[in-house]
């Protein structure tokens, strides 16, 4: 047990004397840095282990680095799809176009030489594709597809009326040809296993028809149909509003996708253009 005897005055005085010992230098593994985020403490220096300092700097750099933004992303995923699609047009087709003219259908429509037989092949194959698309949406193998039922953009019934009109004019309606059959089969397979890629085709088919497709229909009608406007190019409600409604639905569906899934959807755009281009080329056959 410790003694309770009082300490003498002289001994107490000696204990209170400051020892003449220099403080040891700081260990070599310590480093200093200035806290730049505190404007009133610019001279404040904190000592941290070098390893910790390095971690702080790396973490701050990582946090400050902005995530890569994709063209059109700020406006929604549909704008991303539109941006990619425009790049696949020629300069004559769209100001954002980057593709070189290689195929006959990529030339300005004014220079086309369409035929009634070729146009009928195009309409028949187009109807097969729209029949397939609208059947898939109706069955909805993925729940998100149901969002696109009864959008007002459907074309199958309109095309049926047009083909009936041609038949009444004495034209023979051909069977679907290879381009339409091939594309329809591809859409069926895709819709069962790859919803992001399927949605890419859905978007490009309907939106391309509402834009460049209408212009093509008008020019072809001027050359071979005495300017008759087919039902294929008519909508029962305001087209701009119908398109906006579908844009909103597409953006909503894409909100649940990862960035990788969105990129996968965008990468399918080129295939969509290839299949549609094969069908469009029938007009000139």
In a domain, 66, yes or no: no
pLDDT digits (tens, 9 = 90+) for 151-175: 999 999 999 999 999 999 999 999 9
In this prediction, residue 107 carries a pLDDT of: 76
- 142 in any annotated domain: yes
Q: What is the pLDDT of residue 40?
A: 39
Low-confidence residues of the chain, pLDDT below 50? 1-19, 21, 26-49, 51-61
Confirm whether 74 is domain-assigned: no
Structure tokens at 145: 């597809």
Q: What is the pLDDT of residues 91-121, one digit of tens each?
A: 777 766 667 777 777 777 778 899 999 999 9
Q: Is residue 67 part of a domain?
A: no
Q: What pLDDT, on the 0 to 100 scale, is given for residue 212?
A: 93
In a domain, 78, yes or no: no
* Model pLDDT, residue 226: 96
pLDDT at 31: 40
pLDDT of residue 23: 52
SS (H, E, C) the chain: CCCCCCCCHHHHHHHHCCCCCCCCCCCCCEEEEECCCCCCCCCCEEEEEHHHHHHHHHHHHHHHCCCCCCCCHHHCHHHHHHHHHHHCCECCCCCCCCECCCCHHHCCHHHCCCCHHHHHHHHHHHHHHHHHHHHHHHHCCCHHHHHHCCCCCCCHHHHHHHHHHHHHCCCCCCCCCHHHHHHHHHHHHHHHHCHHHHHHHHHHHHHHHHHHHHHHHHHHHHHHCCCCCCHHHCCCCCHHHHHHHHHHHHHHHHCCCCHHHHHHHHHCHHHHHHHHHHHHHHHHC
State residue 14's pLDDT score. 41
Cα–Cα distance between 240 and 256 in angstroms, integer? 26
Look up the CATH number of the domain holding residue 142. 1.20.910.10
What end-to-end distance do the CA atoms of the chain give, in Å? Answer: 113
Domain limits for position 212: 115-283
Rounded distance, CA 76 to CA 86, Å? 16
| CA atoms lying within 13 Å on the CB side of residue 74 | 4
Is residue 12 a part of any domain in this protein? no
Task: Count other C-beta atoms under 10 Å from residue 274's C-beta.
Answer: 11
Residue 199 burial by Cβ neighbours in a 10 Å radius (0-12, 13-18, 19+): buried
Mean pLDDT over each residue of the chain, to the nearest integer: 83
In a domain? residue 144: yes
Q: Which two tokens stand for residue 150?
A: 């009864």
Task: Tell me how many domains the chain contains.
Answer: 1
Whether 176 is covered by a domain: the verdict is: yes
What was the pLDDT predicted at 113?
93
Give the integer Cα–Cα distance in Å for 149 and 133. 11
């Amino acid at each position: 047990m410790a003694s309770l005897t009082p300490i003498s005055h002289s001994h107490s005085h000696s204990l209170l004397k400051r020892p003449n010992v220099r403080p040891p230098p700081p260990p070599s593994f310590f480093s200093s840095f200035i806290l730049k985020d505190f404007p009133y403490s610019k001279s404040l220096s904190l000592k941290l282990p070098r390893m910790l300092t390095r971690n702080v700097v790396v973490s701050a750099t990582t946090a400050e680095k902005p995530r890569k933004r994709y063209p059109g992303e700020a406006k929604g995923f549909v704008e991303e799809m539109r941006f990619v699609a425009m790049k696949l047009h020629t300069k004559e087709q769209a100001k954002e176009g980057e593709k070189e003219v290689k195929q006959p259908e990529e030339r300005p429509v004014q220079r086309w030489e369409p035929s009634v037989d070729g146009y009928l092949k195009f309409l028949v194959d187009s109807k097969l594709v729209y029949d397939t698309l609208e059947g898939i949406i109706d069955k909805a193998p993925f729940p998100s597809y149901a969002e696109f039922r009864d959008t007002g953009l459907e074309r199958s019934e309109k095309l049926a009326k047009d083909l009936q009109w041609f038949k009444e004019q004495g034209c023979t309606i051909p069977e679907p040809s290879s381009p339409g059959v091939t594309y329809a089969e591809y859409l069926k397979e895709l819709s069962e296993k790859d919803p992001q890629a399927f949605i890419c085709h859905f978007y490009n088919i309907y939106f391309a028809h509402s834009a460049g497709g209408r212009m093509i229909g008008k020019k072809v009608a001027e050359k071979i149909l005495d300017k008759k406007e087919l039902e294929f190019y008519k909508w029962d409600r305001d087209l701009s509003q119908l398109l906006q409604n579908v844009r909103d639905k597409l953006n909503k569906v894409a909100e649940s996708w990862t960035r990788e899934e969105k990129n996968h959807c965008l990468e399918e755009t080129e295939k969509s253009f290839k299949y549609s281009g094969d069908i469009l080329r029938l007009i000139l056959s």
